[in-house]
């Protein structure tokens, strides 16, 4: 298995199966729960992701503010805004994304996935 250079951190709202799939896909991934950050503030989770150079995967809308999290000023955010947030639904979305897109191209971007579309705000985007 080839290990990809992109590193991910799954917020506590992301099911363990998602992290397992990302790891099986050859990426370096850890979770907020693995690090003992369950219940930590968004700020603490964000700082941990940035210190480790990790792309954050979350369902937390607080991370959608492009004024606060301007693309190009961080390692990247995948915000999952799907109608069903259970283990199966989120795992299926991640599998679809990783099959049809190159997550390595999302570095420093804000990526928002909904039931109907994928929106990528790259680092060069004006806010």
Segment holding 80, helix H or strand E: strand 77-81
Asked if residues 36 and 108 have their Cβ atoms less than 8 Å apart, the reply is no
Most distant CA pair in the chain, distance: 38
* pTM exceeds 0.95 for this model: no
Length of the chain: 127
* Residue-level pLDDT at 8: 97
122: DSSP letter: -
Q: What percent of the chain clears pLDDT 70, i.e. is strictly above it?
A: 94
Q: Tell me the average confidence (pLDDT) per consecutive run of 10 residues in the chain, 127 residues long.
A: 73 92 94 93 95 96 93 96 82 92 92 92 73
Cα angle value 61/23/52 (rounded, 5°)? 60
Position 85 scores a pLDDT of 67
Residue spans of the domains in the chain: they are: 7-121
Give the containing element (helix H, strand E) for 44: helix 42-51
> H or E segment at 79?
strand 77-81
Collapse the DSSP code of 95 into the 3-class scheme (helix H, G, I; strand E, B; otherwise coil) and give the result.
helix
Angstrom CA distances, 114 to 9, 63, 79, 82, 90, stand at 20, 15, 9, 5, 11
């Amino acid at each position: 298995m080839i290990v990809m250079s992109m590193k991910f951190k799954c917020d506590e709202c992301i099911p363990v199966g998602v992290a397992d799939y990302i790891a099986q896909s050859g990426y370096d991934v850890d979770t907020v729960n693995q690090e003992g950050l369950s219940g930590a503030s968004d700020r603490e989770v964000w700082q941990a992701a940035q210190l480790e150079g990790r792309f954050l995967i979350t369902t937390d809308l607080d991370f959608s503010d492009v004024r606060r999290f301007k693309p190009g000023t961080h390692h990247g955010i995948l915000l999952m805004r799907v109608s069903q947030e259970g283990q199966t639904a989120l795992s299926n979305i991640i599998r679809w994304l990783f099959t049809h897109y190159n997550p390595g191209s999302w570095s420093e971007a804000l990526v928002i996935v909904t039931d109907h579309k994928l929106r990528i705000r790259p680092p060069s985007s004006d806010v």
